[in-house]
Amino acid sequence: MGKLKALGKVYIIDAFDNKFVFIYTLLFPALYFIYVNFEQIIQRNQYSASTIVATFRPFWAYIVFIALLNMVIITTIDQRESGYYKEFYFIVGSKWLIFIANFIVQSIFIICELTVFTIFGMIALRSWYFSILISGLLTGILAVIPVTMFLSVLFIFKVKQQSLSIIGTLLVCVLIYLAGLPSRTWLTDLILLLNPYKYILVLSNWITSFTVDGSYDFKSLFQLLFVTLFFCLSGVKGFSKLDILPLLDRV
């Protein structure tokens, strides 16, 4: 436990030193929220909880997905390929302890960012609902583990450090685009749900339907449970490739 706390402090300090990442995970979503909802913001109207959560869901999904991809998965790959992961391993003696420490720290940051964004959005729209705040927190809490497990398949690929940011940006653009594709059948819904960004969207939709409207969709719940299981099983394969040695240096 002492080693985990020490590693956690290292990742917390690193996160605050790397303030630029908060531009992508918090500042950019906030500014874009103002841009797309400017007319609603300047009007002095009281909006319903259902209207607000429909506006918030894409931003919640973006914050969670970007943070997990960049600060957990890509950071781990970067540390592995640069040799830092091996150095940490020699200090603490466990590759899993290193990953878990970073995962816990980033999950806490995600919860904080979701809270800040949700409060900011409700203040901007002059409408306050505690159920929406709870929905945002639940979205982050329930999404971080399965999405991280699925994204861990990226550990398998040999990627140069210089290419990490480009690959991450392309992946984000492609997955956000695919999340907007129409779906007309149950099978198509399930296939599109394999997109982690879409998964977070549907998860937040189910949560807000339950917490805000008091309703629930068993079909969506079944699909979410099925895909969650698939994500976790995929993560077993991905984490099997989590090594302390740079992948590009292996013969």
Q: Which residues of 130-142 are buried (b: 16+ CB within 10 A; e: fewer)?
A: eebbebbbbbbeb
- Residue 66 above 70 pLDDT? yes
**Where do the structural domains in the chain lie, given as residue ranges?**
2-246
Question: What's the pLDDT at 248?
Answer: 60
pLDDT in tens, 155-183: 887 777 667 778 778 888 888 898 888 87
Q: Identify which of 217, 211, 221 has the alpha carbon closest to the alpha carbon of residue 53.
A: 211
Of the two residues 187 and 55, the one the predictor is more confident about is 55
Question: What's the pLDDT at 161?
Answer: 65
Q: Which range scores top for mean pLDDT: 7-16, 204-213, 240-249? A: 204-213
Tokens (6 digits) for 178: 């695919």
CB-facing half-sphere around the CA of 124: CA atoms within 13 A: 21
Of the two residues 103 and 23, the one the predictor is more confident about is 103
pLDDT in tens, 104-130: 999 999 999 999 999 999 999 988 899
pLDDT (mean) for 21-27: 84
Alpha-carbon distance values, 3 to 7, 83, 245 (Å): 6, 20, 21
Q: What is the DSSP string of 144-165?
A: HHHHHHHHGGGGGS---GGGHH
- Residue 206 above 90 pLDDT? yes
CB 184 within 8 Å of CB 115:
no
Alpha-carbon distance values, 137 to 117, 128, 131, 207, 220 (Å): 11, 15, 10, 10, 20
Residue with tokens 């976790």: 232
- Residue 210 above 70 pLDDT? yes
